[in-house]
Amino acid sequence: MALYQITADPELATMKITKEKIRGGVLFDYVLSAEDERIVREKAVAFLKSGPHEEPPPPSVAEANKLMNLFGGRMIEENDVLPGYEELSFDTFPRGVEWAKAPPPKEKLADYKVLVVGAGLSGIAAAIQLKNLGIPYTVIDRQETLGGTWLWNTYPECRVDTLSYLFQYKFEKNYKWPEFFAARQDTLVYLKHVASKHDILKDFQFNKEVIASTWDESSSTWKVTLKSKLTGEEETVTANSVISATGLFSTPNLPDIPGITDFKGHIFHTTAWDHKVDYKDLRIAVIGTGSTGAQLIPNLGRVAKNLAIYQRTPNWIVTIEGYRAPVPSDLNWMFDHMPYYWNWYCYAAYFRSLDLAAVQVKDKEYEAKGGRVNERNDSVREALTNFITKKMASKPELIKKLVPTYPPLVRRLVMDNGFYDTLLQDNCELVTDSIERITEKGIKTKDGKEREFDLIVLAGGFKTSKYFFPTIYKGKGGITLEQLWKKDGARTYLGMVMPGFPNFFSLYGPNHQPRGGSLYSWAEIWARYAVASVKWMIENDKKSMDVKPEVNDKYQDSLDEASKKLIWEYSEGQSYYVNEFGRSGVNMPWTTSEYHAMVIKPNPDDFVTT
């Protein structure tokens, strides 16, 4: 595409793109035939040899639309064009917010204060947007530095399972990732690099937890109570607006197993890994086989004397191409020398991610004929079942325990870091009997069997429905989140604002987990909405904006309607996607393009403003 964009060589435009299944058919690769690929390579070599080439100006949205059509082998739908253009990342800040006219006078801006809670990738995205506009802000985080999730998940082999060329900001160009799927440490290096490049760290305060935040009607400000993690001291600060970027995976899910405090060996949650424990040759138990457990288990299996894997619900696990592969130097060379190659490479990862959404949609007609969910979902199930069956051929007694009975994508797909291979090892055991209790020496299951361990790893994930926990928010008239959410759990308008909580914006809030794209991009999009709202208030001399209850109610109805068409509330296999009320409260029911169109900018008519 980069070559065609630059040369407009008509032969390139005639090449046919075909879709090849990857990850059991959950996604597709968009490929050329071997012969066409050879021709493209030859043409690219000739072009590069005739260089060096100045980077031509980027295409307009309309021109890029034509290129995107060619790339996808079909007409891109209207709503997909702008999100796609942003992903192509031609602009310096593809999702930047700008003042409508000239920036307001400095004195006016100096009077405004935004408090951002959370210094993970979402908080950083918000901070950079605010800094670019010159709006004063402070980022508060209870940890000792930035990084969010990636700071406290220090368990062995923690790494992203989204391709790093997708899982990155769009305003940071041609970053040199060491591996295709960045290890935790490399993700932290990246976030620090971005923060230092944009010189935002001076406005961050660490080791402080936001414990309460109360709306003060008389001044139209939030009075926010911070507690030092180091001294326990409390202070109250005032903010005109609060942007909560506190993440979905901030509160560990510690299992409520009887006897858990009786255990005399080492026991810890994956978010609190005790690196002083040398686990080589130990007898280890892992409770939980979700994304974290499955990622961790192979490492433990390689060195443990024996490893027992306690699985309550099996997960659908897919292999992932290039999962631990380093980025070869020739790819980086291409990024540096072929104009726009990086843009299209990253766009390809984004475009591929959109194909997942269709696997989640219930097809009533298909179900009426006896199928489950939809034809593609069923075919994914078949492919993944075959994969497990083949993998576990030498231990057939495990196959039944490992093949989920619920359809793929009811829960988050788990990436294969060697989970099945580990189960084939002689020192590993899969335990599917329910746990009765933890004893002084180990774990007793309901079948009466007690296994002894030196180390128990709790890999039960996170309490995802406890949004904004532990902060006690009080909105207009003292309304609390519990009161607002008492019917069926956390809800917000567009995932970001709530009636009665003016000037409060959440990033990665309820029903905010996307069905395509990457969280970095979504963080930029959410930050754009929140910061554009703040900007709008400043420009229009407004002190507050509070979403109208009727706008919120209508949105919640359409959200429920849209959720019903999807699979998360499926009768079996429900996961952290579903809250304690049985409602899908984590995932966005909208497709990438639908939701992008809803939040491209705030609509002042949605709000009561003062």
Judged by the rule CB under 6 A, the positions of this chain that interact with ligand FAD are: 117-123, 140-143, 148-149, 153, 158, 160-162, 167, 209-210, 245-247, 249-250, 292, 471, 508, 519
d(CA 302, CA 304): 6
Joined together, the tokens standing for residue 114 give 């935004």
Identity of the residue, 444 or 474, whose beta carbon is nearer to ligand FAD in the bound complex: 474
Joined together, the tokens standing for residue 458 give 């709790």
Identity of the residue, 5 or 417, whose beta carbon is nearer to ligand FAD in the bound complex: 417
* Sign of the alpha-carbon dihedral angle for 567, 569, 575, 577: positive
Identity of the residue, 422 or 471, whose beta carbon is nearer to ligand FAD in the bound complex: 471
Q: How far is the CB of 157 from ligand FAD (least distance, A)?
A: 10
d(CA 215, CA 502): 8
Identity of the residue, 141 or 546, whose beta carbon is nearer to ligand FAD in the bound complex: 141
Identity of the residue, 120 or 573, whose beta carbon is nearer to ligand FAD in the bound complex: 120
Q: How far is the CB of 469 from ligand FAD (least distance, A)?
A: 7
Strands of the sheet containing 442-445, edge to edge, are: 435-438, 442-445, 450-452
Q: How far is the CB of 335 from ligand FAD (least distance, A)?
A: 21
Q: Which residues pair with 243 in a beta bridge?
A: 116, 505
Rg of the chain over Cα atoms, rounded to whole angstroms, equals 25
CB-based burial label for 273 (10 Å; 0-12, 13-18, 19+): middle
Output phi, psi for 59, to 5 deg: -70, 155
The H-or-E segment that residue 30 falls in is: strand 27-31
Q: How far is the CB of 276 from ligand FAD (least distance, A)?
A: 21
Q: How far is the CB of 141 from ligand FAD (least distance, A)?
A: 4
Q: How far is the CB of 123 from ligand FAD (least distance, A)?
A: 6
Amino acid at 241: S
d(CA 501, CA 510): 15
Q: How far is the CB of 117 from ligand FAD (least distance, A)?
A: 5
Q: How far is the CB of 145 from ligand FAD (least distance, A)?
A: 9
Q: How far is the CB of 579 from ligand FAD (least distance, A)?
A: 18
Identity of the residue, 119 or 455, whose beta carbon is nearer to ligand FAD in the bound complex: 119
CA 299 to chain CA mean position, Å: 24
Amino acid at 191: L
Whose tokens are 């128990």? That residue is 456
Helix, strand, coil percentages (3-state) for the chain, rounded to 5, are 35, 20, 45
Joined together, the tokens standing for residue 348 give 């390809």
Identity of the residue, 90 or 520, whose beta carbon is nearer to ligand FAD in the bound complex: 520
Question: Cβ(372)–Cβ(113) under 8 Å?
Answer: no
Identity of the residue, 438 or 496, whose beta carbon is nearer to ligand FAD in the bound complex: 496
Identity of the residue, 250 or 289, whose beta carbon is nearer to ligand FAD in the bound complex: 250
Q: How far is the CB of 328 from ligand FAD (least distance, A)?
A: 21
CA 139 to chain CA mean position, Å: 20
Identity of the residue, 12 or 116, whose beta carbon is nearer to ligand FAD in the bound complex: 116
Question: Cβ(3)–Cβ(12) under 8 Å?
Answer: yes
Q: How far is the CB of 337 from ligand FAD (least distance, A)?
A: 29
Identity of the residue, 117 or 599, whose beta carbon is nearer to ligand FAD in the bound complex: 117
What stretches of 393-537 adopt beta strand conformation (E)?
414-415, 428-431, 435-438, 442-445, 450-452, 455-458, 472-474, 504-506
